[in-house]
Amino acid sequence: MISKKKLAWQLPFLLFLIVGTVIIIRNQRLTPYQKDSGSVFGTEYHITYQSDSSLQQSIMAELRRVDESLSMFNPKSTISRINKGETDQADELFAEVFQKAQSISKETNGAFDITVAPLVNAWGFGFKQGTEPTQHAIDSLLRITGYQKVSLKGSRVVKSNPQVMLDCSAIAKGYGSDRIAKLLRSRGVENYMIEIGGEIVTRGISPKRLPWKIGVTKPTDDTLNMSQELQTVLNVTDRAMATSGNYRNFYYKNGRKYAHTIDPKSGRPVQHDLLSATVLADDCATADAYATSFMVLGLDGAKKILANHPELMAYLIYTDKNGDLAVWKSEKLREEP
């Protein structure tokens, strides 16, 4: 039997725990959700987070830091100045993204490549030229394309050819979402959803007191970005998610459809049946880069990468042999309701 003396000590302690838990839950329910939005990296951001006060000024300051380092739309950013030969010095944020990009380039055998921008521009998506480049022009650009042609020595960016151009657009939005997530956590925020240009990081629960769920848009030829029909809704709680697709960025010329995704090895638009790649990972920069890589590699190539990276999950939409939409998804996603 438990002694009366022991009970006399335990009961007040248990009561304290119960009351404390009730107070914490009550305060969480009463704490409002803040909503911030704006423009960065040539796109829009939307951030929802639970906090007694707005953190908008801190959020904007952090986004400015990322913009001043990685934005191709900012002529004074670190990456713009490196491309123009005005400096070879990398700041802390640029170095972090560069190293992650190089690592994923190696893992994907060059499918992800932050030097591919000149080829993208030549095919008409960077500067909307809309003219098919000649093979001679492609070969010339391939000579200054390749992730191996640039490295980081300390804080110094070293190019094998000064014409090599860097573009972190396929990883910067995800990285920006990660930076804001880190900021919110440092301020004690437990529940949030950050979205920059479709690249998402979540934690905790939504304002509806439910896990965060994010829709994946059904891929249809929609250059005006008008269609909002969903293919599925995924549980993205405590995860990062990024989607890449060719179904909105393409053009027709001489009866042929050209996708915006360029294969860094051939220098030409990819030709395969993968329409959309959604990747879930621990951080959004990683999800962002692999989603782009999968659009280069196609369905079979993406599945090979995923087999070697069990920490990643993917939802891939493609056209089957009959021309119908079909879905492949990671086993962990199949297990989710």
Mean pLDDT to the nearest integer, 198-207: 96
Query: Is residue 139 packed enough to be buried (19+ CB in 10 Å), middle (13-18) or exposed (0-12)?
Result: exposed
| Extended beta strands in the chain, E state | 33-40, 43-50, 150-153, 156-159, 192-196, 199-203, 213-217, 230-235, 240-245, 250-253, 256-259, 274-281, 313-319, 325-329
pLDDT confidence of residue 224: 44
Amino acid at 39: S
Q: Which residues contact 302 (CB under 8 A, 6 or more apart)?
A: 274, 277, 293, 294, 314, 316
For 12-69, the pLDDT digits (tens) are: 656 555 655 544 454 556 799 999 999 988 899 999 999 999 999 999 999 999 999 9
Spell out a b/e string for 25-43, using b for 16 or more CB atoms within 10 Å of the CB, else e: eeeeeeeeebebeeebbee
Q: How far apart are CA 305 and CA 296, in angstroms?
A: 12
Q: Rounded mean pLDDT of the chain?
A: 87
**CATH superfamily of the 34-335 domain:** ApbE-like domains (3.10.520.10)
Q: Residue 126 pLDDT > 50, yes or no? A: no
Question: Which of 240, 249, 239, 176 shows the shortest CA–CA distance to 219?
Answer: 249
Residue 225 has pLDDT above 80, yes or no: no
Strand partners, 250: 259
* 41, 68 contact by CB (below 8 A): no
pLDDT band at 229 (very low <50, low <70, confident <90, very high): confident
